[in-house]
Structure 1
Amino acid sequence: MKGETVLDILRTYTKDELFYKEMQEARKDPKTLEEFLARHGLQEAIEHRWIVPEYRDQGGWMPEMMGDALLFEVLQNNEILVSKHNRYTPMFEHRHAFFEFAYVVEGACIQRFNEKEITIHQGQMTIIPPYSTHAIGVFDDSIVINICVKRQVFEMVFNSILRYSNVITDFFARSLYLYQQADYMILDTKNDRDLQNTMLQIVAQSLEKKPFDHVIMISLLLYWFGKMLQTHEDGIYIPSLPYQNNEKVLEIITYIEGHFQNATLKETASKFSFSEGYLSRLIKKSTGKTFTDLVLDMKFDKAINLLETSRQPILEISYLAGFESVEHFNRSFKKRFQMTPTTWRKVNYANRSVQI
């Protein structure tokens, strides 16, 4: 699908957008708003998942905390969701359990973090990490694309970027493992035509609904980030944090990510010239996890990604994820997830062929 065709589709108003636009116009006059709400009652708003502030206290749709299950229920376990942000949707503060990339295709939008409003312009992307409270507003013909990726899948799929030390790596590592994180990151492509076209091709894959579309979308997103780092690293902005003293922790976590299959506290402490006790306390203070639990989480993330995206035998997966034996893998997996790896695969792998 050509880029111009994608743009034409994105520019066309959806039923939801027409509803929100009419509601915004109705707000200019109390009587007109009253008539509008009379035509579109609470039940209709709930059925369509329309965000109507007047219905909030009556049980109306207002998703303030979005878990993976809520947003990805339509995905049937695919890793990525691409959608246009509905124009004229009332701004509402919310959080979610996944990474969100909001890219401005045309025009501009407003992003609000902790009462601070920022205008994001055409060619700029806002990256919002899990559990960051924010709100977004688009109140004209501007076009904003939202790309959502599960935190767990993100950690494994984007490992090729996380292996290298750069400003994006530090942001992602902080978001994935540390208590202290920035609420957002802004990437300015300076209206790079190649990056714009890549984003439109991601949208095209989402619209066409062909087999393996999620694989191509993730590959294109990886290309987008690689190209961004290669050509526009100076256009990346992260708000400063009150304390910026954990660069060494980020370096340690990045190292562990690259060696999680066989990483030990003793070897890692020696690598960074720390005592085992000091490194253990540092990891616990920064991540809330013991060294062992941090490594185990990385192993489980690797295992789940392989269970859901490959046909490799359980024995091979246990080896690739760094478990000492398949028996140890099965016991640990069942203890963590209350089911065996084989059962997990049956539940999650079968739905991968179902398209959006």
Structure 2
Amino acid sequence: MHTGDFCLIPPGVHHSLDVCNYSIVLNILITEAKFKNIIFNELKADNLISSFFIGNIYSENVNDFIIFHTNGDRQIQELILDLCLEQVNQKDYYKYMINADILKLLGLLLRNYERTCDVPRIRKKKDSENFSILQYIEQNYRSLTLLELAEHFHYSAQHMSHRLKQITGMAFTEYLLQKRMKLAADMLVNTSVRVKSIGENAGYQSQEHFIRTFRKYYGVTPGAYRAMHQKG
């Protein structure tokens, strides 16, 4: 790597930093959940970072990295510095500022350096469709059925079920349940929204059904889960 290079490393790839001179290396960690939210809800178009991320999260064939050669791009340097300062100072609304900086950073990398970056292997056309399937689920999972998903992509329900199993390693119902429960858990920990409203946001019209499902998944009721994490 050279001065100004930005290396994107996906989850699950073991790596270490080794600097033998007076270089400065910044290691920025983004949670998988946060990065998923950015990829599916913000960077919605088919692009290098989206395909790279999907391929590594849902495929056994892992790409180790992407390196963007920014050549000391001043705008990117200032964004990264601002990210660090926001995290250290933690002023009001710092999380919103960090999210905005991350999104702008990824956008600039794609806009200015996508064509010159180093990628371990060539993207496949199938990766793009897999991304589209997962993105559609992300945007509609609160009320989506397997048949609706299959019809949207002009496949049979059986083919779509098999396709999703290949991408995620999970059945359709299992994948939706995981997404709904993670959304609910996140809202319980990070918001003061009522349990009933959280259940509705996760796609459950019945509060009793939501509570039963949540307790079966996490082993405690939503109220107990919230109390446990608030104490923590």
- Greater Cα shift, 131-140 or 266-275: 131-140
* 1:344 aligned residue: 225
Structure 2 match to 1:46: none
* Cα displacement string for residues 106-153 of structure 1 (whole angstroms, at most 9, x for unaligned residues): xxxxxxxxxxxxxx2222221222211333311111111111122234
Which residue among 30, 33, 48 is the counterpart of 1:149? 30
Q: Distance in 1 between matches of 2:38 and 2:189?
A: 12
Is the 8 Å Cα contact of residues 314 and 342 (structure 1) preserved in structure 2?
A: yes
Aligned partner (choices 56, 73, 94) of residue 175 of structure 1: 56
User: What is the aligned length?
Assistant: 232
Counting only pairs closer than 5 Å after superposition, residues 253-332 of structure 1 correspond to structure 2 as 253-332=134-213
1:245 CA drift (Å): 4.2
Residue aligning to 1:134: 15
Q: CA deviation at 1:162?
A: 4.6
Separation (CA, whole Å) in 1 of partners of 2:174 and 2:84: 37
CA distance in 1, matches of 2:181, 2:35: 13
2:85 corresponds to 1:204? yes
Q: Report the Cα offset of residue 212 of structure 1.
A: 4.3
- Residues 19-98 of structure 1 correspond to what in structure 2 (within 5 A)? none
Shift of 1:269: 0.6
SS in structure 2 of the partner of residue 194 of structure 1: helix
Counterparts in 2 of 1:143 and 1:204: CA distance versus 1, 3 Å: same
Q: Distance in 1 between matches of 2:142 and 2:117?
A: 32
Q: State the SS of the aligned residue for 1:136.
A: coil
Q: CA shift at 1:246, angstroms?
A: 4.1
The runs of 5 or more residues in structure 2 that have no matched partner are: none
Match of 2:3 in 1: 122
Corresponding residue of 2:68: 187
**Contact map agreement 1:152 1:301 (CA 8 A) in 2:** no
CA contact (8 A) 1:181 1:241 kept: no
CA positional deviation for 1:290: 0.4
- Deviation, structure 1 residue 267: 0.6
- The answer to whether the Cα contact below 8 Å between 2:40 and 2:135 also exists between their aligned partners in 1 is no
Residues 269 and 300 of structure 1: CA distance in aligned 2, closer, same or farther (over 3 Å) = same
**Would you say 1:228 and 2:109 are equivalent positions?**
yes
Instruction: Give 1:241-256 correspondences, 5 Å limit.
Output: 245-256=126-137
Give 1:242 shift: 9.9
Greater relative contact order, per chain length (Cα 8 Å cut-off, separation 6+): 2
1:202-244 C-alpha deviation (Å, 9 max, x unpaired): 1112332445434432332122112333333324443116977
What is the CA-CA distance between 1:177 and the residue it aligns to?
2.8
- Supply the distance in 1 between the matched residues of 2:59 and 2:230 (Cα, whole angstroms): 30
CA spacing shift, 1:323–1:226, aligned 2, 3 Å: farther
Q: Secondary structure of the residue that 2:17 maps to in structure 1?
A: strand
SS at the partner of 1:135?
coil
Distance 2:123 2:70 in 1: 27
Hey, what's the Cα distance between the residues in 2 that align with 1:180 and 1:238?
A: 14
Cα offsets for 1:65-108 (capped at 9, x unmatched): xxxxxxxxxxxxxxxxxxxxxxxxxxxxxxxxxxxxxxxxxxxx
Identity of aligned residues (%): 28
Cα RMSD of the aligned pairs, angstroms, is: 2.4
Higher helix share: 2
In 2: Cα distance, 1:234 partner to 1:155 partner? 23
Greater Rg, structure 1 or structure 2?
Answer: 1
The residue matched to 1:148 in structure 2 has which SS? coil
Contact 2:4 2:71 in 1 (8 A): yes
Paired position in structure 2 for 1:70: none
AA aligned to 2:140 is H
- TM-score w.r.t. length of structure 1: 0.59
